[in-house]
Structure 1
Amino acid sequence: MSVSSRNTDDARAAFQTCQSSDPRDRVEFYDSWAENYETDHTLMNYRSPQLAVDFLSEHFSGNPEEALVLDVACGSGWVAKLMAELGFKNFEGVDGSQGMLDLAAKTGLYKDLRLALLGPEPLPAQPGVFDVVIIVGGLDAGFAPVSVVRELCNAAKPGGFICMSRGDHSGRPAEDYKAELDRELRLMEQEGLWTPVGTKRTDRYMEDPHVDTKGLKEGPKPELFISGTAYLFKKSKQ
């Protein structure tokens, strides 16, 4: 099916398949989804990239042209394109799907792109050198494990920013993941690895792909969007 013929039903089905597929099969799915990835996310009013980049830009006071950015789970390069509009020029990207990396390469924004499945494989990034480490949408049950946040922090240079955004998907696995993530973020703060800059919430992170929108013209409508959060931390200088 061509990109131009996609509709919200197609996009919703793709999201459902992605979230329900076995993690071992998900890379293959992303390879096949690459062509329609941004179209489907736009159809679902996916705001995670904009949420993260806007929140980061509110607090970043350095020279964006000189900043080195590590874009983790970079996908099609959506985040880098938004950051480039703000003057950022130096990007390295990591993703588990070669199909997505091929799309990211077409943006011409990345100095380096590396294939790695986070969790089973370590984050392929030099430690302590990045002014900004950002991950959008990859922190959820069945995707990048919570342990990855320590690798993100390790990649940032002292005083560098770590920015993360994720949606509040429904279901017990997602709820358990959120609880584990919150514990890990607090623990890393207690250990002195980073300090929280803040969080930014939205009630309209994206349309809920599991809501059946058919027949909603009459009567009360269910909540069509899921909420989401952007997290921003600054790596300790010690």
Structure 2
Amino acid sequence: MTATSNYVIRSAHNNGSAEDLMLFYDRWAPNYEQDVDLIEYRAPRLVAAQVAAHFGGERQAAMVLDVACGTGMHAGVAQMKREGFQRFVGVDGSERMLQHARQSGLYQDLQMAVLGEQPIPVPSGAFDVVTISGGLSSSHVPAKAIRELLRAAKRGGLVCMSTRANRDNVAYKVALEGEMKKMEDEGLWRRVEVTRVSRFERGVSDHEGGHVPGCVYLFQKL
């Protein structure tokens, strides 16, 4: 990995305002794909595999909402298409990222919104599957924003999420899992599967060598 790519990816984990973060992603958009490839970023593929393993409906007709979709060129959406899913709506807070996503041709519709700052601009209960692969971290999305993912899902629909489980993200992961459990206790969804992954992506901080772990969570709306 180049020093420049490493610095850019580390910068994406810095805390700041939502506006500053979206400006950062606007600037990063042209090089985003090549940079995340360098860290062997597996989250979109892991999320796609989890959904494919548990979805029991008609895949060609299923509506999939991809939140924090980025450039849209992740292997996750392409993998879901290979698994038979055909109808995708993407949401991201960066206009430049969405420009690249439009060029990918993977999505039937794309909307701009910053999860945690604004409601997702989609109808409630409209989607068979809702995914978020890379947005769940302290610098990006507050843990309580996962309720907005659930709002977009149909009753019986699947919500699949992932986050890093490294030292820098421990406090956020605890808060995220606490919110998940609270929603489960409220009878809003049920846990289908939680997968702990040892090689989630390559570490980029000074104290991380090799790969960092992560988790993939799958819930069903009740």
TM-score (norm 2): 0.94
Report the AA paired with residue 161 of structure 1.
L
* Structure 1 equivalent of residue 167 of structure 2: 170
User: 2:107 matched to 1:107?
Assistant: no
Can you list the C-alpha shifts for 1:160-193, whole angstroms capped at 9, x where unaligned? 000001112433xx32211111111011111110
Q: Is the 8 A contact 2:95 2:112 kept in 1?
A: yes
* Structure 2 equivalent of residue 76 of structure 1: 71
* Structure 1 equivalent of residue 221 of structure 2: 235
Question: Runs ≥4 in structure 1, deviation > 4 angstroms?
Answer: none
Q: What are the equivalent positions in structure 2 for 1:37-52 lying under 5 Å apart?
A: 37-52=32-47
Q: Is the 8 A contact 1:10 1:40 kept in 2?
A: no
2:70 counterpart SS class: coil
* Structure 2 equivalent of residue 17 of structure 1: 11
User: 2:150 matched to 1:143?
Assistant: no
Q: Percent identity?
A: 41
Give the aligned length: 219
**Per-residue deviation at 1:89?**
0.9
Once residues 196 and 147 of structure 2 are traced to their aligned partners in structure 1, the CA distance between those partners, rounded to angstroms, is 22
1:121 counterpart SS class: coil
* Structure 2 equivalent of residue 205 of structure 1: 200
Query: For structure 1, which runs of at least 5 residues remain unmatched after alignment?
Result: 1-6, 213-221
Once residues 202 and 161 of structure 2 are traced to their aligned partners in structure 1, the CA distance between those partners, rounded to angstroms, is 19
* Structure 1 equivalent of residue 156 of structure 2: 159
**Per-residue deviation at 1:22?**
2.0
2:96 counterpart SS class: helix
Q: Which residue of 81, 92, 95 corresponds with 1:95?
A: 92
The CA RMSD over aligned residues, in Å, is: 1.5
1:132 counterpart SS class: strand
* Structure 2 equivalent of residue 3 of structure 1: none
Query: For structure 2, which runs of at least 5 residues remain unmatched after alignment?
Result: none
1:101 counterpart SS class: helix
Q: 1:21 to 1:178 in 2, by over 3 A?
A: closer
